[in-house]
Amino acid sequence: MWNFSFICPTLLILFILLIFYFSLPRLGIRQNKVFLKIIIIETLVVISDIVSSVLDNNYQEHPLVLVSVANMLFFVFFMLRAYVLFKFVISVLHIYPRKFPAIKYFVRLPLYLSLVVTAFSPFTGMIYIVNETGYHAGPFYNVTYFCSFFYLGMAFLSFFIKRDVLVRKRELFSLLFYNVIIGAGLIFRILLPNYLLMDTFCLMAILLVYLSFENPEFYLDLRSTAFNRKALTDFLDERAGNQWKNYICLIIHDYSEMRAIYGSTQMDDALHMISDYLNQMFPKSHIFYFSRGRFVILTDSRINKEEACEKIADKFESSWKSELSEVYLNADYVIFSNKENKLSAEVIEGTITTALDRADFINDRRPLYIGAEDIEETKKQLEIERCFEHAIENGKIEAFLQPIIDAESGRIIGAEALARLRDEEGNVIPPHMFIPIAESTGRVHELGVQVFEKACEFIKKSGPEMKGLSWINVNLSPIQMLQADLAEQLESIANKHGVDTELIHLEITEESTIDDYSMQHQIKALKDKGFVLVLDDYGTGYSNLARLKKIPFTTVKLDMDIVLDYYHNPDEVLPMMIKTFKQLGFKITAEGIENEHMSLVLAELGCDYFQGFYYSMPIPMHEFSEKYLKPA
Q: Would you tell me which residues interact with ligand C2E (CB under 6 A)?
A: 402, 418-419, 430-432, 435, 444, 447-448, 451, 475-477, 507, 536-537, 560, 591-594, 611-613, 618
In the complex, the smallest distance separating the C-beta of residue 477 from ligand C2E, rounded to whole angstroms, is: 3
Nearer to ligand C2E, 244 or 400 (CB): 400
Nearer to ligand C2E, 351 or 402 (CB): 402
Contact 555, 470 (CB under 8 A): no
**What are the phi and psi torsion angles at 134 (to 5°)?**
105, -155
Using CB under 5 A as the criterion, what x/- string covers residues 493-522 for binding Mg ion?
Answer: --------------x---------------
* Residue 49 interaction partner, one of Mg ion, ligand C2E, none, beta carbon < 5-8 Å per kind: none
> Computed from CA positions of residues 399, 402, 408, 413, in that sequence, does the dihedral angle turn out positive or negative?
positive
How many of the chain's residues bind Mg ion (CB under 5 A)?
4
Nearer to ligand C2E, 252 or 418 (CB): 418
In the complex, the smallest distance separating the C-beta of residue 507 from ligand C2E, rounded to whole angstroms, is: 6
* Residue 185 interaction partner, one of Mg ion, ligand C2E, none, beta carbon < 5-8 Å per kind: none
Beta strand ranges found along 340-448 (DSSP E): 368-369, 398-406, 412-422, 428-429
Question: What's the rounded Cα separation, in Å, for the pair 626 and 506?
Answer: 25
Nearer to ligand C2E, 53 or 513 (CB): 513
Nearer to ligand C2E, 302 or 432 (CB): 432
Alpha carbon distances (Å) from 578 to 56, 252, 563, 581, 592: 100, 44, 11, 5, 16
In the complex, the smallest distance separating the C-beta of residue 228 from Mg ion, rounded to whole angstroms, is: 40
Scanning residues 176 to 195, which ones bind Mg ion (CB under 5 A)? none
* Residue 419 interaction partner, one of ligand C2E, Mg ion, none, beta carbon < 5-8 Å per kind: ligand C2E
Burial of 424 (0-12, 13-18, 19+ CB in 10 A): exposed
Nearer to Mg ion, 122 or 414 (CB): 414
Nearer to ligand C2E, 451 or 578 (CB): 451
Q: Does 475 bind Mg ion (CB under 5 A)?
A: yes
Give 515-524 contacts, CB < 8 A, sequence gap 24+: 515/482, 516/547, 518/481, 518/482, 519/481, 519/551, 520/550, 520/551, 522/481, 522/482, 522/486, 522/487, 523/551, 523/552
The 10 Å Cβ neighbour count of residue 266 is 18
In the complex, the smallest distance separating the C-beta of residue 473 from ligand C2E, rounded to whole angstroms, is: 8
* Residue 618 interaction partner, one of Mg ion, ligand C2E, none, beta carbon < 5-8 Å per kind: ligand C2E
In the complex, the smallest distance separating the C-beta of residue 246 from ligand C2E, rounded to whole angstroms, is: 40
In the complex, the smallest distance separating the C-beta of residue 537 from Mg ion, rounded to whole angstroms, is: 4
Nearer to ligand C2E, 299 or 611 (CB): 611
Q: By Cβ distance, which residue is nearest to ligand C2E? A: 612
Question: What's the rounded Cα separation, in Å, for the pair 487 and 474?
Answer: 14
Nearer to ligand C2E, 266 or 473 (CB): 473
In the complex, the smallest distance separating the C-beta of residue 290 from ligand C2E, rounded to whole angstroms, is: 30
In the complex, the smallest distance separating the C-beta of residue 418 from Mg ion, rounded to whole angstroms, is: 7
* Residue 350 interaction partner, one of ligand C2E, Mg ion, none, beta carbon < 5-8 Å per kind: none
Scanning residues 511 to 570, which ones bind Mg ion (CB under 5 A)? 536-537
Question: What's the rounded Cα separation, in Å, for the pair 20 and 216?
Answer: 9
* Residue 17 interaction partner, one of Mg ion, ligand C2E, none, beta carbon < 5-8 Å per kind: none
Q: Annotate 23-73 with three-state secondary structure.
A: CCCCCCCHHHHHHHHHHHHHHHHHHHHHHHHHHHHCHHHCCHHHHHHHHHH
In the complex, the smallest distance separating the C-beta of residue 426 from ligand C2E, rounded to whole angstroms, is: 18
Question: What's the rounded Cα separation, in Å, for the pair 174 and 187?
Answer: 20
Q: Tell which residue, 250, 249, 268, 247, has the closest CA to residue 259.
A: 268
* Residue 448 interaction partner, one of Mg ion, ligand C2E, none, beta carbon < 5-8 Å per kind: ligand C2E
Nearer to Mg ion, 7 or 419 (CB): 419
Q: Tell which residue, 556, 564, 555, has the closest CA to residue 598.
A: 564
Nearer to ligand C2E, 293 or 403 (CB): 403
Contact 143, 117 (CB under 8 A): yes
The 10 Å Cβ neighbour count of residue 228 is 21
In the complex, the smallest distance separating the C-beta of residue 432 from ligand C2E, rounded to whole angstroms, is: 6
* Residue 477 interaction partner, one of Mg ion, ligand C2E, none, beta carbon < 5-8 Å per kind: ligand C2E
In the complex, the smallest distance separating the C-beta of residue 535 from Mg ion, rounded to whole angstroms, is: 10
Nearer to Mg ion, 55 or 417 (CB): 417
In the complex, the smallest distance separating the C-beta of residue 536 from Mg ion, rounded to whole angstroms, is: 4
* Residue 431 interaction partner, one of Mg ion, ligand C2E, none, beta carbon < 5-8 Å per kind: ligand C2E
In the complex, the smallest distance separating the C-beta of residue 226 from ligand C2E, rounded to whole angstroms, is: 37
DSSP string, 450-479: HHHHHHHHHHHHH-TTGGG--EEEEE--TT
DSSP string, 360-377: HHH--SSPEE--HHHHHH
* Residue 122 interaction partner, one of Mg ion, ligand C2E, none, beta carbon < 5-8 Å per kind: none
* Residue 20 interaction partner, one of Mg ion, ligand C2E, none, beta carbon < 5-8 Å per kind: none
* Residue 238 interaction partner, one of ligand C2E, Mg ion, none, beta carbon < 5-8 Å per kind: none
Interior CA angle at 435 toward 524 and 384, to 5°? 155
Nearer to ligand C2E, 444 or 526 (CB): 444
Helix (H/G/I), strand (E/B), else coil: 124: helix
Q: Tell which residue, 347, 305, 307, 312, has the closest CA to residue 330.
A: 312
Nearer to Mg ion, 333 or 610 (CB): 610
Q: Which helix (H) or strand (E) holds 101?
A: helix 101-119
Question: What's the rounded Cα separation, in Å, for the pair 22 and 218?
Answer: 14
Question: What's the rounded Cα separation, in Å, for the pair 64 and 58?
Answer: 10
Question: What's the rounded Cα separation, in Å, for the pair 15 and 283?
Answer: 28
In the complex, the smallest distance separating the C-beta of residue 507 from Mg ion, rounded to whole angstroms, is: 4
Q: Which helix (H) or strand (E) holds 556?
A: strand 555-558
Tell how strand 619-620 and strand 587-590 pair up: unpaired
* Residue 612 interaction partner, one of Mg ion, ligand C2E, none, beta carbon < 5-8 Å per kind: ligand C2E
- Which residues are near Mg ion by CB under 5 A? 475, 507, 536-537
